[in-house]
Structure 1
Amino acid sequence: MRLTRTLVTALTAGALALLTAPAADAGPVAAPPAVTAPAVVAPAPAAAAPDGFLYAWEHPHAGGFHCRWNGDNGNWAGCRNKVSDVWNNGFPGRGEDVKLYYGVSWTGSWVCLHQSHSIPDLALSGLRFFGPGAGKGQLVNDNVSSHDWVDAC
C-alpha cells in the first residue's frame, strides 16, 4: 500500500515536472551513446511526507470509502466498525502514535499504530485488540470505534 502511494506520488511529481519544464530550443540532436554497461536502477522513491492524519478505509488496500482525522475522535460514526485498512501518517514527535479503541469514547481494549505505520489489510494481518477492557482478543478488522493520538504506546 505504501509502495503504491509512494509510486503514485513520484509519478505525479515527475509528470508535473515534465509538463511545467520550459521548452528546449530546437537544434541538432546528438546520437545517444552506445550502452555498454547494465543500466543502474534508481533507488525507490521516499515515502509520502507526513501530513498529520490518520487514514482509514472500508476495504483493504485503500478500497471503498475512507475517513481521515488529524485529532482525537471518540466516535468514528460513518467508519465505526467498518474499517479494513489503516495508515498513521501523523507527524513525528509528541502525539505521533495512535491508539485504536474497540469502544466509542476511547473505551475498551486497544491496539497501537505507530507513526508512519500502515496495515493495508487488517483481516489478513489477524491483529487483535490486546489492551485491557471490553473487546480484548477481538479482531481489529471492522471493530474500531474511536482513536486518540498519544506520545508513545
Structure 2
Amino acid sequence: MQRKRITTLLLAAISTIGLMFALGTPAMAAPPSADGNSDVSITAADGYFYAWTGTYRSGTQCRWLNNSDDWGTCRNAASSAENRGYVGGFDDVRVYWGTSASGAYKCMGNGGYWLDLTLCVEKFDVGSPGNGQCINDNASSHRWASSC
C-alpha cells in the first residue's frame, strides 16, 4: 500500500512539472523593479549581451560577446535587451546613449533584462548628454563593467 501511494505522489509531481513547462513560464512578463531592471532572466548565461528591435525579445536580434562601439542595425532601434553574461569579473553592462561609450549610460546587472523599453521606465541616468532620456530607440553602444 505504501509503495502504491509513493508511486501515485511521484506521478502527480511529474505531471505538475510537465504542465508547468507546457504552459510556459511567467518570467517573461515580469514587471521592472524599482531600478528599472526586471527580475533575473531564466535564460541560461551564454556570455553575450543582447538587444532586439522589438519588445519582449522580438524583431531583429543583435548580440555581442565583447564591448561594442556601435550597435549597427540595433543602434537607436532597440526596444528590449538582456544581459546573459557569465557571473564574475566584468558581468554587468553599461548601455550608452552615444557611440564609443559616450554620453549618458544606464547599467544593467548580470542576468538582468528590459523587456519593453517603449514604456520609458528605463532611462539613461549617469553622465551626459542624454541623461534622463528613454533608452528605447536611443542606445548606441555598451561596455562590460565590474559593477553597476
Asked if these proteins are the same fold (TM beyond 0.5), I'd say: yes
SS in 2 for 1:143: coil
The structural deviation recorded for 1:49 is 2.0
Q: Once the 2 structures are TM-superposed, how far is the Cα of residue 125 of structure 1 from its aligned partner?
A: 5.0
* 2:63 pairs with 1:68: yes
The secondary structure found in structure 2 opposite 1:63 is: coil
Q: CA deviation at 1:47?
A: 2.8
Aligned to 2:17: 42
Cα deviation for residue 124 of structure 1 reads 2.0
Higher helix share: 2
Deviation of 1:55 (Å): 0.7
| Aligned twin of 1:117 | 112
Following superposition of structure 1 onto structure 2, how do residues 1-153 of structure 1 map, counting pairs within 5 Å?
39-40=12-13, 41-42=16-17, 47-153=42-148
Distance 1:76 1:48 in 2: 22
Residues 124, 133 of structure 2: 8 Å contact kept: yes
Q: Is the strand fraction higher in 1 or 2?
A: 1
- RMSD over aligned Cα atoms: 2.5
Deviations 1:27-56 (A, max 9, x none): xxxxxxxx79xx443396793321000010
TM-score, normalised on structure 1? 0.71
One-letter code of the match for 1:42? Answer: I
Percent identity over paired residues: 35
